[in-house]
Structures are given as structure tokens and as C-alpha cells.
Structure 1
């Protein structure tokens, strides 16, 4: 396992006036394909600064080093659960059938088939694809679109994530202007609205946040790898209404994950996202075990909190 560092020159402009310069500075970064905005975040946090208006990076070089460094503790990986638990009888979306979990063959019923003291359970579940936290493939929207078996693993696993904070927004629609500051190419774009706090209640899905058509087009045009949301639907799910966000993203073969949870535990940058469904042919949507991974360091390593980033450094 490697730790990664960036060797850089940087010019920092402070919000209260003033200017800092760094030359040949070494900063630990979370992964090998780290972007300049992520490097800026690591730099600002490692220096303990909170009043930075702008970061200009030059002469950046990324290199790896062994995980065990003299005087330092080895890094570990932290896993963050982003899926809801699927339980028999639960409601994911009003009007859709709940899953039914039952025993096909119990432990007691299996004993006759094995040696004494050996028993197994054979469990059965009846559900529709739109249960719990699930992923939509292009086939969900388009009859000739790629199904679950047709999505490359590179679009589902270990994607660099960018978390867009939208909690407390005064309007429901997430528009292009909300996404404009973010670098999204090749990334899982996770829309953190806070709507998951109403999960399993009557309020869940009522006046839910959603992605507008303009927002979806920006993400598609800029090459997002996947789009997820912690709300009931990526679109404004009014009865009989259009579904432009699904239409735009799935036409561009960008998978969608709905009903995420726990996005507040992720930094804006630096996490890796995975949401892989079973490899089922002829199926468009299925539950996933969505999760994120992040490097974890001992408390004296300041790069653990490298998610904070001045808006101007995201350009």
C-alpha cells in the first residue's frame, strides 16, 4: 500500500488581505489521480488555514511512498456506509410493492440432506428493482439501453467522488448554477440534500429535492461518471410529469443511484465511491450496497480533514 504526496509550488491569497507563497512543499494527498482542487484542499488544511480566498498551484508532481514512514503511523482505509437497510415489508417509494423476505428452506428442513450437525438456511426475497438504495442503468429508461450486466465496472466501483452540499437550500430544484463550481469529469457526483433524514416516514418523498434538466445536462456535458442523490427521486416525481434528469443522464450512459444516505459523513473531495449491482441481463434497476472509502490517518495527520476547499480553488 502506498501513501501519495504532492510536491508543489503555490500562491495563496487570504480573505483578509495578504499573500503566502510555498515553494517545493510536500503535501500528502488521498490517491494517485488527485485533482488540483483536491491538492488545494489538502494544502490549505495541512497548513491549518481557514481564511484562504484563492489557491493557485504550479509545478505539481505526484509520487507514491511506502505506507510505513519513519515517525508516522501506517494509513488505513475507512469505510462509510451509504445504503439503507432492506427489510421485509419496508416502503421505498409510495405506491411500489414492498419486499417480501422468507425462507425457501429453513435450517431444520435442510438437516436431512447433510451429515449430523450440519444445517443451512436457504433464504428467498421477492422484490422489484426499485427497493432500498438502488442503481438505474440506461435500460431503466430506454428499451435498447445497456442493462445491469452491460455497465462497465469502471463506471460503478472506486470512483473519485465529489459531494455537492445542498442541505438547507431554499428551493427544491438543483440547477446548473449549483453545480458550476465543481470538477465532475470522471467522478461520482453525490448530491447531499439531507432528505434521507425522512426515510421510512410519511414525509419522505414529499416536496423532495431534485435535479433539473439544466443541471443534468451540465453533468452529462462535463463527463460525470455517475450521479447519486440522498432523496426519493433524481427527478421531480410529479404524477404524469416528465423525467428529464433520468432521460438526459441515462441517454449519456451515466448510471444513477437514488435513496443514498449518510452523505454528511463524506468530505467534499477525497472519498472513493462504489455502488455495484448484480450482473443481471435484461434488468434495468437493482439494489446496491453503496459505500465510500477514505484514507484514515492517526489524529496527528492533518490530511484526514482535507475535504474543506475554498470555492475559488475548485475552478
Structure 2
């Protein structure tokens, strides 16, 4: 099979201010038909850029060339160490008086949700608290390896920041096991877009945990997240006690 790469110019803006421009940058591609948004995500992942708000590409050229092992790309085989067992437990559930913490199951039935999707998941904490943008797009996520992980959105506000449907589809397509947020919902409180991001994730079989607390106490990576729910037939949303085990330094 022939490998393909892309060359392009790019300008990145960041949610917490500032920008970055590059010229003639190259990344490995999964195939010759990669779309510009996929190329942009690979670019952000290759540099590990956090809090990316927008990426504009120009002069994009796709050509046949052996992969060089772009970080986060199709030929990246770097093994990531699993979180160590042991360590302190961190409470991540809101008290009932504050609305509690809820898990939403795909298919509206908790009996169909395997424990492997909600218990002892390696956690990735995506910090967007303080960002100027009101939306969480692919750019804010692309720097992270989300496959098999609980992706926890630390927004710092009950209203949170709306996860775009495109970002939800990116998480599902990249194999995220669970998505959590400290906001009251993934789609914000203003009703814009309805429950689009939630619907995308549930349709892809990805459970969602809403109204988390204490995400500021977790490291960006290395913790194990749990929000296991009881086996209730025909029930799709239920209060849970979420927590994380943080390995000792």
C-alpha cells in the first residue's frame, strides 16, 4: 500500500489568546482523500498543541511519500504506559443538593452498558476553563490520544462550553470510551444546537457523564476514572458517584 503525506501552510489561533503560523509543514495521512479538517487535526496532534481554537490551511498538497511517523498519525506506534495501580481516590461527583452527577447510557438502557466503558478508564482531562471561545471544537481535542479513554472536559462553569457535533464525531471516531463534563450538559444551556453533541456520542455507543466536580484536582493524564451505574433495564439516565484514582508521584 502506498503511503501519503500532505504539505501545507497553516495559521492557528488559540482559545486563550495568541496565534502561530507555519509554512511548508508536513504530516502523514491515512489516505490520499484526507479532508482539510482531518489534515488540520493531524497537524495539531503532531505538535501537541493545547487550547487550539481554529486552524486555517492554505496551499495544501497531497502526495505519495513514505510515512515519517507523525505523532498521532496513522503510523504512530508509540506505546503509552498504562496508569499505575494504587494512589489516592478523588471525589468527582457533585452532592445531591447541587444537582448530583448523572450518567447517560447509549440506547436508553443501562443493562446494555459494559463495565469496560465506565470503570477504571485511563482519563484525559481537556482544560478549556477560561477560554474565550464558547465552543469546544476538534482543535481543542486533537492533541490528545483519546482511544479507550475517558475524555473529561474541564470547562469551569455549569453552563460550560458547547461541544460541537463535529468534535463529538471526532471523539467517537477516535475510539473514546466515555465523555464527561463538569457542565450541566455537553450542549450548553442556551439551547443552541439542541442536544446534537450528546446525540452523536450516544448514537456511536459512547456513554456521557454530566455535572462532574473536582476536575481541577486531576492531572491531564495518568488517572483512572470510574462512574459505574446500576443495571436498570429501560433506564438511560441515572445518578452516579464518579471518582478517579490518581497515581502517586
Asked whether the two chains share a fold, i.e. TM above 0.5, the reply is yes
- 1:272 equivalent in alignment to 2:224: yes
In the TM superposition, what is the alpha-carbon distance from 1:154 to its structure 2 partner? Answer: 0.3
- Aligned CA distance change for structure 1 residues 240 and 76 (closer, same or farther; 3 Å): closer
In the TM superposition, what is the alpha-carbon distance from 1:77 to its structure 2 partner? Answer: 2.0
In 1, the alpha carbon distance for the partners of 2:78 and 2:103 equals 40
Give 1:150's aligned residue: 112
In 2, the alpha carbon distance for the partners of 1:221 and 1:227 equals 13
Local SS of the residue matching 1:216: helix
Give 1:116's aligned residue: none
Larger radius of gyration: 1
In 1, the alpha carbon distance for the partners of 2:101 and 2:172 equals 22
In 1, the alpha carbon distance for the partners of 2:208 and 2:199 equals 11
CA contact (8 A) 2:101 2:210 kept: yes
CA contact (8 A) 2:102 2:240 kept: yes
In 1, the alpha carbon distance for the partners of 2:238 and 2:105 equals 9
Give 1:135's aligned residue: 103
In 2, the alpha carbon distance for the partners of 1:280 and 1:149 equals 6
CA contact (8 A) 1:84 1:259 kept: yes
Give 2:121's aligned residue: 159
- Aligned CA distance change for structure 1 residues 240 and 224 (closer, same or farther; 3 Å): closer
CA contact (8 A) 2:129 2:154 kept: yes
- 1:211 equivalent in alignment to 2:221: no
CA contact (8 A) 2:153 2:180 kept: yes
Q: 1:98-247 residue pairs with structure 2 within 5 A?
A: 132-138=100-106, 145=107, 147-195=109-157, 204-205=158-159, 208-239=160-191, 241-247=193-199
In the TM superposition, what is the alpha-carbon distance from 1:241 to its structure 2 partner? Answer: 4.5
In the TM superposition, what is the alpha-carbon distance from 1:271 to its structure 2 partner? Answer: 0.2
- The match for 1:85 among 72, 92, 95 is 95
- Aligned CA distance change for structure 1 residues 153 and 232 (closer, same or farther; 3 Å): same
- Residues 18-48 of structure 1 show CA distances to partners (whole Å, capped at 9, x for unaligned) of xxxxxxxxxxxxxxxxxxx9xxxxxxxxxxx
CA contact (8 A) 2:86 2:245 kept: no
Local SS of the residue matching 2:147: coil
CA contact (8 A) 1:83 1:291 kept: yes
Residue segments in structure 1 that go unaligned for 5+ positions in a row: 1-36, 38-54, 68-74, 93-131, 139-144, 196-203, 297-303, 305-315
TM-score (structure 2 length as normaliser): 0.64
How well do the aligned residues superpose, as a CA RMSD in angstroms? 2.7
- The match for 1:283 among 232, 235, 238 is 235
- 1:250 equivalent in alignment to 2:202: yes
- 1:292 equivalent in alignment to 2:244: yes
